[in-house]
Structure 1
Amino acid sequence: MLVKKNSLAHTLVQWTSGTDQCTELGGHADRALIRTCTQLRASIESSVREGLLPVGDS
């Protein structure tokens, strides 16, 4: 997947493969009803805190 943080409040996630790795998303017929994967969100937030994922235009 590809992740971009445009701001602290805005995260763009582009799935490049299936969402089966997230139990909250995988296997659902209508994935639009499931808005987030909490495990993925926690990983992204951790990467931001550690400076591994830049926020904004950088």
Structure 2
Amino acid sequence: MTPVACGECAAVVLCEKFSPAHTQVQWTEEASVLPGGCPRIAAEVATGRPSARVRSCEALRAGIEAAVLAGRLEVPADV
């Protein structure tokens, strides 16, 4: 899995692309709690929701797309 930073809050998650439409995101402990974590994810975790159940946020999705475009996160060519 490849570390990818959110362009808004700089929280780092682990990502893997299986196809252009399928992205696996693994939230790290650091990405899900404040300080230093994603405020959107931290708000969900604070309500008792497991970080693994938080789907995403638009800022993070933009960071993932930027990583794909820059070649830091590869999409398999054979899909």
- Tell me, which stretches of 5 or more residues in structure 1 are unaligned? none
> How many residues get paired?
56
Question: Matches of residues 1-40 of structure 1 in structure 2 within 5 Å?
Answer: 1-18=13-30, 19-20=32-33, 21-28=37-44, 29=47, 30=49, 32=53, 34-40=54-60
TM-score normalised according to structure 2 size: 0.57
**Superposition misfits of 4+ residues, deviation over 6 angstroms:** none
* Cα distance in 2 for residues equivalent to 1:53 and 1:5: 7
- Tell me, which stretches of 5 or more residues in structure 2 are unaligned? 1-12
Q: CA RMSD in A?
A: 1.9
Residue identity (%) = 39
More helix by percentage: 2
TM-score normalised according to structure 1 size: 0.73
